[in-house]
Amino acid sequence: MRFPPLEVLSTWPTPNYENPETRGQASLIVNIIFLFLVLVAVALRVYSRTSVRRWFGLDDIMIGLATLFTIGLTVVVVLANERYGWNRHIYDIPFERIEAANIIALTAKCTFTMAATFTRLSLCMFYYRLVGDSGVNWFRWVVHANVAFTIAVCITFVFLSVFLCTPVQYYWEFPPSTDGHCLDEGIATLAAGILNLSADLLATITPIPLVMRLNMRLKYRIGVSILFGLGFIVIVAGIVRTYYIWKGLMDTYDATWYAYPLWIAAAVEIDVGVICACAPALKTLFHFSSSNTQGYYSQEPSGPSSQRAAKESHTNSSKPSSKRSFFNATAKLPWSQNSRSQKGSVRIPEPDTTGSTGSWLDMAKSRTEVTCEPATPQRGGRTAPALEIMRRDSVELESLCYARTVSSVSHHEPSYFPDERHLAPSEQGFAKRY
């Protein structure tokens, strides 16, 4: 916080410590809402990684650390605005609170930097797990550069924030002593904000070249790129925050009043960043939930007409569908187009029809076995790198195995298959064929 010169002090009105003009409760409301969304997103991510995919890794640890610093930043922002005067004019802050206001500002800078750093590192650890040992070395080097740049920005910004003044306590002590000096806080913070914005941009666009090289239709590549490109929302928030850094710390001496939007933009940027970093894991959870819901309702008996619809649905399930989810990118992956050579083949032996009564109950009683033959290697025993990446179990966008769906047919209860005596004469012949 810059100390204004005497010519600026002479233009300020009389301080109002009892009933000052404030910015309102916008910061408190926004921080509570976005922190709640962060906690929900992280909780769903942890559930997805521990119960659905069972794939908890280093990227989840990083997002956990980012969440802790995000909670800390929210607490700091609320205290700064509600207790230490960062929602009022600087001349309305009592002198005994100015030191605390400066300390809370320094704490917010360091907390923001750590939260942003661990969020970006979580994304980088996720990118490492995507490629694994697939042999895509150029992408690994891009992620290496991303990690190095992220850590360098973190160390630089924390160092500048702590050692902006010499001695260190000269930053917050009031009235300021005469045996210290500081760098220009506005210029240093603006430069750090631009570097932080560049790191966000680099972390967002890193996986897009890899996705666009995959062997699938263009619209599905665009869909996956949009999923990874949700970080552009964070970049927009970062641009807003950078503008208010200039407005609050360089363009005016009334920093506590004009920096109020800066506090909101900084908190929103971190919160949205954590939520976007959880998006790939949440996609897997929503796909799993949707599959279970469809499976539950498909087993509900509700009369002959619904049985016919269920039968037709089961008959047509083996045919390729022309409608695909926009974000279900793996539906058009290379091995999905030739499952027998890439994914393995499914062989369903014919059931023994000896002693058959011609009823659908025979279908339920015959336990159809499903065997999967191992995939044949490509290119002389080595799979192409792009296929190796997308076939790994670590790919978050992979759909549930089709063989699992086929094998689940044998687990239907016999009561779900009606006896043909309850069917119309025209339907009994259809039932006997199955």
Q: Is residue 5 part of a domain?
A: no
Q: Do 86 and 160 share a domain, yes or no? A: yes
Note whether 247 and 313 are same-domain residues: no
12 lies in a domain?
Answer: no
Position 291 in a domain: no
DSSP string, 46-98: HHIIIIIS----HHHHHHHHHHHHHHHHHHHHHHHHHTSSTTB-GGGS-HHHH
What per-residue confidence (pLDDT) applies to 289?
Answer: 52
For 229-341, strand residue ranges (E) read none
Whichever domain contains 252, its CATH number is: 1.20.1070
SS3 content of the chain, % helix, strand, coil (to 5): 65, 0, 30
Question: Distance (Å, rounded) from C-alpha 82 to C-alpha 263?
Answer: 12
Q: What is the pLDDT of residue 229?
A: 76
Could you tell me if 402 and 372 are in contact, meaning their C-beta atoms sit under 8 angstroms apart? no
Q: Are strands 165-166 and 181-182 parallel, antiparallel or unpaired?
A: antiparallel
In a domain, 358, yes or no: yes
Same domain for 201 and 275? yes
d(CA 92, CA 397): 54
pTM over the 0.85 mark = no
Instruction: Verify that 254 and 355 share a domain, yes or no.
Output: no
Contact 295, 264 (CB under 8 A): no
Considering the domain architecture, whether residues 181 and 63 belong to the same structural domain is answered as yes
Residue 65 has what pLDDT? Answer: 96
Q: What angle do CA 176, 171, 30 make, to 5 degrees?
A: 120
Please state, as a whole number, how many other Cβ atoms lie within 10 Å of the Cβ of residue 99: 16
Are 132 and 238 contained in the same domain?
yes
CA distance 25 to 136: 50
Does 107 map to a domain? yes
> Is residue 113 domain-shared with residue 239, that is, in the same domain?
yes
Residues 279 and 338 in one domain: no
Q: Is the residue at 307 inside a domain?
A: yes
At residue 52, the pLDDT reads 77
**C-alpha distances out from residue 193 to 1, 113, 187, 190, 199, Å:** 17, 10, 10, 5, 10
Pair 345, 255 in one domain? no
**pLDDT score at 292:** 52
On whether both 217 and 87 belong to a single domain, the answer is: yes
> CA 116 to CA 63: how far, in whole Å?
10
Same domain, 136 and 248: yes
Query: Residue 241 is part of which domain span?
Result: 20-284
CA–CA separation, 405 vs 295, rounded Å? 9
Closest CA to 373 of 348, 400, 405, 409: 348
User: Do 252 and 337 share a structural domain?
Assistant: no
Please check whether residue 154 lies inside any domain of the structure.
Answer: yes
* Mean pLDDT, 10 residues at a time, the chain of 434 residues: 76 87 92 95 90 82 96 95 91 90 93 95 90 79 94 93 90 81 88 90 86 77 77 88 87 88 92 90 63 46 48 47 38 39 43 45 44 47 49 44 39 39 42 36
In a 10 Å sphere around its CB, with 0-12 CB exposed, 13-18 middle and 19+ buried, how is residue 89 labelled? Answer: buried
